[in-house]
Amino acid sequence: MNWMGPFQQLGRSLMLPMTALPAAAILLFAGNAIPWTMFGLDHFGQVLIYAGDTVFAYLPYLFAVGVAMGLTDNASSAALTSLLSYFLFTRITVYYAEHPLQIGVSGAIMIGLLTAVAYNRLKHIKLPEPIQFFGGPRFVPLFMSIATMMFSYFFAKLNPRIEQMLDGLSDLILNLEGFGVFLYGVLHRLLVPTGLHHILNNVMWFQVGSYERADGQTMFGDLPRFFAGDPDAGIYMAGLYPVMMFALPAIAFAIIKEAREDLKPKIKAMFLTAALGSFLTGVSEPVEFAFLFAAPYVFVIHAILSGFIMWLVYALDIHHGFAYSAGAFDFILNAHLARREIWLIPIGIAYGLFYYHAFRWIIRRFQIRTPGREDETELDDWSGDIPYRAPLVMEALGGKANIARMEACITRLRLTLHDDRLMDISALKTLGAAGVIRLGGGNVQVVFGTYSELLKEQMGRIMRQDFNQVSFFAPVQGRMMKLEEVPDTIFAKGLVGMGVAFFPERGELVSPVAGKVIHLYPTLHAIGIRTKEGLEVLLHIGIDTTQLEGKGFTSYVQIGDEVKPGQLLIRFQLALVRKQAKSLATPMVITNPERVKSWNFAPFKAVKKGQASVMTVVLKGEQANGGKQHG
C-alpha cells in the first residue's frame, strides 16, 4: 500500500491550480451577467470576459507549476523549473510537430511530474568544487532544460499517435453516455475518503471532450469546455448539485433529528453549519464523515444513489458547471452558462426529502452511532481554538519526531508518519477529528474539516520551533474535568498545583508521563512522579480518600521505580471509593507550576485510559508555541 502516498500527493497537487478557477468564474459572471452597456461601460465588460478567459487559456501553465509544487513540498525552485520546462515543451512541440499539438492540461501534468521527480532526486547533487554553484537545486533547471528538449522532440514526433490515443479514450468515455456519468458519480463518492477523487476529477473535468472556440483555441475537459460556452459540456458536474445542495444537508438534518435530546442542541449547531457549508460551497466531508466510519455500507449506498441522480440529470439533458464545487454560490454564479439548470432545484428537493426519510429510517433500524447517538460526539466546533489544540494534535500523531511529511487539502491533513502505530486515534477524535484513515506505509489522513489548512500551518510553525514540551496521557478512563470543578477548595484553587482532574469510570490508575516515582502515600490513594524535565506530578484518587486507610487500593509500583506512560500504577475498588469518599474526582496536578510557561488542555469530555495529549505544557526558558496561557 506504499503506492498510496504518492497518489495522495498527486491528488492534492492537482487541486492547487483549481484555486484560480473561482476568480475566473466571477470575472466571466461579472462580464456576462451585468449590463455594462446601460452604464456606458461595455468595453469594461469585455475586459472582464477577456480576463476570465485568460485564466482558462493559461490553465496548463498553472497545472505545470501546481503539480511540481505539490510533489516537492512547495519548493519554489521546482515551480520555476516546471514553468520554464513547460515553456520549452510548448515551443519545441509547436516547432517540430507536423500539426498543432492539442493535449491541454495533460502535457502540463507530465512536465510537472517530470520536474518533481528530477527535483526530488537531484536537489542534493554535489559537483566538483569549481562548479558547485550549479549543484544542488540549481542543477535541476539545467537538467530539465536538456531533458525537456529531448522529451519534447520525441513527443512531437509521436504527436499523431498520442493525440489519437487521447481522443480514443475521450470518445470511449463519452460514448458510455448516461452509464458513464453514473460510474463517475459512484467512483467520485467512493474515492472521497482516500482523497484520490481529485485524480478522477482531473480526467473527467480537464481531459474528456474537446471544443474549439471562435478564436481557434481548443479547450479540453468538461470544466473548461463549459466555461468556453460548449453547449454539450457540464454533464459530469451538473448531477453533483442535487447531491451537495440537497442530499447531504438532508443527511445532516436526519442526524440532528435522531440525536439524543440532551445532545441535540450541540448537534444541531454543529450540523446546521455542516449542512449550510455543503449547500453553499459543496464541501461534503463534514457530513459524509459523520456516518462513513460508523456505517461504511451506508456510504456505499450513498455513492450508488449519487451515481443514479447524476444519470437522471444527464437523461434530462441538464447542463451546469462550477469553478470550485457544486454549491449554491457556483449554481448562481455560473447559471448564465447553464442549460435547463432550473430543473436541478425540484430534483434536488425531491432527492433531499427521500434522503432525509431514508437516513432517519436507516439510523434507527440499524442503530447507527452517528454523532449525538453516543456518549460524546466525535465532531467538535473549535474554529477559534487552532493555536491552542495544534500542539495536542501533534502529540496525538506520535509527536514531532514521528511526522515525516505533512500536507493539507480543503478538509483533511495528509500525513506520512514514521510509525502510524504511535498515533492515538481516540485522542485525535477527542481533539475534533471527524475520522482517521490509514492508507498503509505510514500514510494517514485525519479529517478536521475546513480548518485543516490552518491547523497544518500552526503545526508547521510549532515543528520549526525548538522548545521543551511535555505531553500528558489520561491516567484513568472516564471524563476529563476542569480543576476548578473538583469539590475540594485546596485543589480547586490550585493551592497544591495546576492541572486537570478526571472522574474515573474504572478502578485503574496509569502513569500519565514517563518518569520516576518519588512519592507513594501509605494509604495508596496518591502518588507522585518526577519527569526527566523536572516536573513533579501528583495523582490523587478521589477526595477525602485518606480516611479509607488503604482499604481497596493495590499498588503495582514502589518509590524509585521508573514508569512510562500508560503503565499501571494503582488499582482501586471503584464502588468502595464512590460510596465512602467525598468524590471520585481525581486531580492530576503539577506541584511545581512555576516551571511551566504555557498550558494546553484537550476538550473536557470523555477520555480513554492512556489516551494521549489530554494536556501539554511548555517549560520556561524555552520557546513557547503561542498557545493559550493558563495560571
Q: Rounded mean pLDDT of the chain? A: 87
Collect all residues with Cβ–Cβ distance below 8 Å to 319 and sequence separation of at least 6.
226, 231, 232, 233, 234, 235, 238, 338, 339, 340, 341
CB atoms within 10 A of CB 243: 27
Residue 465 grid cell: 520551533
Parallel, antiparallel, or unpaired: how do β-strands 586-590 and 562-563 relate?
unpaired
Residue 574 grid cell: 471503584
DSSP letter (8 states) at residue 436: E
Catalytic residue among 409, 428, 447, 529: 409
Residue 159 grid cell: 504527436
Mean pLDDT of 296-305: 92
CB atoms within 10 A of CB 344: 26
Nearest to 426, CA basis, from 357, 367, 486, 375: 375
- pLDDT at site 102: 63
- Residues 600-627 have pLDDT tens digits of 898 888 899 999 889 999 898 743 443 3
Using the predicted structure, report yes or no on whether residue 464 has a pLDDT greater than 80: no
Q: Please state, in angstroms and rounded to a whole number, the distance separating the CA atoms of residues 7 and 416.
A: 12
What pLDDT band is residue 74 in, cutting at 50, 70 and 90?
confident
- pLDDT at site 156: 80
Q: Please state, in angstroms and rounded to a whole number, the distance separating the CA atoms of residues 422 and 395.
A: 10
Q: Please state, in angstroms and rounded to a whole number, the distance separating the CA atoms of residues 239 and 185.
A: 8
Q: Please state, in angstroms and rounded to a whole number, the distance separating the CA atoms of residues 600 and 389.
A: 7
- Residues 191-228 have pLDDT tens digits of 887 777 888 888 899 888 889 888 878 888 999 999 99
List phi, psi (to 5°) of 615.
-160, 140
- pLDDT at site 457: 87
Is 464 marked active-site? no
- pLDDT at site 8: 66
CB atoms within 10 A of CB 128: 7
Q: What is the 3-state secondary structure (H, E, C) of 79-148?
A: HHHHHHHHHHHHHHHHHHCCCCCCCCHHHHHHHHHHHHHHHHHHCCCCCCHHHHHHCHHHHHHHHHHHHH
- pLDDT at site 460: 87
Using the predicted structure, report yes or no on whether residue 377 has a pLDDT greater than 60: no
449 versus 406: the higher-pLDDT residue is 406
Collect all residues with Cβ–Cβ distance below 8 Å to 201 and sequence separation of at least 6.
14, 188
End-to-end CA distance of the chain: 47
Q: Please state, in angstroms and rounded to a whole number, the distance separating the CA atoms of residues 468 and 515.
A: 15
**Chain centroid to CA 462:** 19
Residue 190 grid cell: 467512493
What pLDDT band is residue 103 in, cutting at 50, 70 and 90?
low
What pLDDT band is residue 98 in, cutting at 50, 70 and 90?
low
Nearest to 533, CA basis, from 596, 474, 587: 596
Nearest to 188, CA basis, from 56, 307, 317: 307
